[in-house]
Structure 1
Amino acid sequence: MAASCALAGVLALSVTAGGTAQASSSDPLRYVALGDSYSAGSGVLPVDTSNLLCLRSTANYPHVIADRTGARLKDVTCGAAETKDFTSSQYLGVPPQVNALGADTDLVTLTIGGNDNGTFINAITACGSAGLLTAGKGSPCKDLYGTTFTDQIEKNTYPALKSALRAVRAKAPNARVAVLGYPWITPEKADPSCYLKLPIAAGDVPYLRDVQTHLNAAVERASEETGAVFVDFSRVSDGHDACTPLGTRWIEPLLFGTSLVPVHPNALGERRMAEHTMEVLGLG
């Protein structure tokens, strides 16, 4: 997302496309983390000072996975990354993310797609602005934008996701690739007590949830069609959206949150993303 989201077996990894990568207990898994701000943990302290442009945290889910599995992590996640930044430079001095991959890479994790077309940032800011103008009544954002966001996801984001994941596979043919979905930002229904923190009109709360559902579905299809493992957060992140209390929520609200980067995972969210990914992949 823009300024706007593992390892089974230290004994063996079965790959989803082409071959099997073996790693003995004395040879840590070679793990590369790619992706956007949900992968980077943007806004979570402490900050990785090796590249301040990317606003990467050393407590993001890739670091949690690496710490718990003993993997050898190369983290090139970067806030505001889009699918195109996998194969082209995002910033001066920041190489294409797939450059970090190689034939010896055992594991790749990533979240990507939320920044393409400005999907998340545009939807959140548009619906937040509309919600303020109507004092939280009605569905002004849905009425104004209709299927605009979901149409862009189908037309542009989905094919771009497939292209980016094919580039990952080409660079790391022996790796297991795990693509994480985005945890829920909004609840299913409007919570009046949340309006000050997330000023979305009542009718637009399910509308935004539907936009996120479409994005995650596109990520899932692209993952399956390119031989990657999709890590689904639709069930486990339910009840941990930005409207829930601190200590329960995984995602910080737009206003009055605890993170410098709103509408992004907090430290708890990054840990839970790591833990669920490890569970899906069978990593101890």
Structure 2
Amino acid sequence: MTVGVSRGGTGRVVSGLVAGAVVLASGGAGPAAAEASGVGEYVALGDSWAADATLSQVSARFVPVGCAQSAGNYPKQVAAALGPARFVDATCGGATTANLTEPQSLPVGADNPPQFDRLGPGTDLVTLEIGGNDIGLASAVSECVTGDPGTAVCRDTYVRDGVDAMTQRIAAAAPKISAAIDGIRARAPRARILLVDYLAGIGTTGGCFPVIPISDADASWLGNKLLELDRMLAEVARAQKVEFVDTYAGSGGHDACQAPGVRWVEGLIPLSVNPVGPAVPFHPNQLGADHQARTVLAALRR
């Protein structure tokens, strides 16, 4: 999920930041030793929370640089642990479910081809993390920024007469996620499919104004909308009979309000100590990527 701090498109936010960053071809957490997994071909699909969008360790090995894909993201760590004969990481910052079947235009570099183009009859493992951009949760975060801790800018904008427009968007996105799973099955009928949710980027009981200039009311609203999105993903996984990977459950106490070295998601200030350097605001840092990798690997070993 691409979360920016301006009202521009989410892909533009990440790509614009990347344009001014130093691009590295390596870095991130040390890969785990390959195990005898039996996985022949692994394809990773998803948005920037799957790409673990970064400014300090961008990899263009699998996708254009504008995707801001991390050299240490969880798909690469999972592939390093499993040792498949073929691995392709199609994840890209700003991606929606539409970009699974359509090219994704990026202001920096070439377009990212449709992510489903990487699938084939030989694909036997797929991870998918997507949906945050479909519901517009990314732009909502930037709209919540305020200088007045007593306001509820986002909640009052999205909730009218007891109807929460974001809740409606989450419900409307469910068929898109379900269709994405159908699309994977059509292209990779042998694949084991894991649907991955979003870890806790913000709490559900308040924020940390002014460190992150979002009021407690809006921080709680955002945190609960993220949890609501994850619950929708879990419901789709059950209905579609695919495996659900719950990265949220183990991420409590590591949200963007926590201290450096404790938080797994960066806040508004685009600097990180994990790794040291510029960061994409409101995205998993390397500690978050490591948690995602551990959780996915644990699910695969069940």
TM-score (norm 1): 0.84
Choose from 34, 42, 52 the match for 1:41: 52
> 2:283 aligned with 1:273, yes or no?
no
Structure 1, unpaired ranges of 5+:
12-22
2:280 corresponding residue in structure 1: 261
8 A Cα contact 1:45 1:58, kept in partner: no
2:225 corresponding residue in structure 1: 211
1:104 corresponding residue in structure 2: 122
**Helix, strand or coil for the counterpart of 2:250?**
coil
> 2:98 aligned with 1:81, yes or no?
no
8 A Cα contact 1:10 1:29, kept in partner: no
The one-letter code matched in structure 2 to 1:109 is: T
2:195 corresponding residue in structure 1: 179
CA-atom RMSD in angstroms: 2.0
Per the TM alignment, residue 165 of structure 1 is displaced from its structure 2 partner at its CA by 1.4
8 A Cα contact 2:79 2:87, kept in partner: yes
Instruction: Report runs of 4+ in structure 1 exceeding 4 Å deviation.
Output: none
Choose from 118, 126, 144 the match for 1:127: 144
Cα deviation code 1:12-67 (max 9, x no counterpart): xxxxxxxxxxx3xxxx5311111101111211542113421211111110111111
Q: Distance in 2 between matches of 1:244 and 1:29?
A: 39
8 A Cα contact 1:44 1:266, kept in partner: no
The one-letter code matched in structure 2 to 1:150 is: T
Q: Distance in 2 between matches of 1:60 and 1:161?
A: 22
8 A Cα contact 2:247 2:291, kept in partner: no
2:264 corresponding residue in structure 1: 250
Per the TM alignment, residue 233 of structure 1 is displaced from its structure 2 partner at its CA by 2.2
**Helix, strand or coil for the counterpart of 1:179?**
strand
Aligned residues: 257
Per the TM alignment, residue 138 of structure 1 is displaced from its structure 2 partner at its CA by 4.2
> 2:161 aligned with 1:144, yes or no?
no
Structure 2, unpaired ranges of 5+:
5-9, 11-33, 273-277
| Identity within the alignment, % | 34
Cα deviation code 1:165-214 (max 9, x no counterpart): 111111111111111100111123224xx323321111122111111112
Q: Distance in 1 between matches of 2:201 and 2:111?
A: 32
Q: Distance in 2 between matches of 1:93 and 1:189?
A: 39
Choose from 68, 92, 114 the match for 1:55: 68
TM-score (norm 2): 0.79
Q: Distance in 1 between matches of 2:212 and 2:40?
A: 40
Choose from 134, 140, 153 the match for 1:116: 134
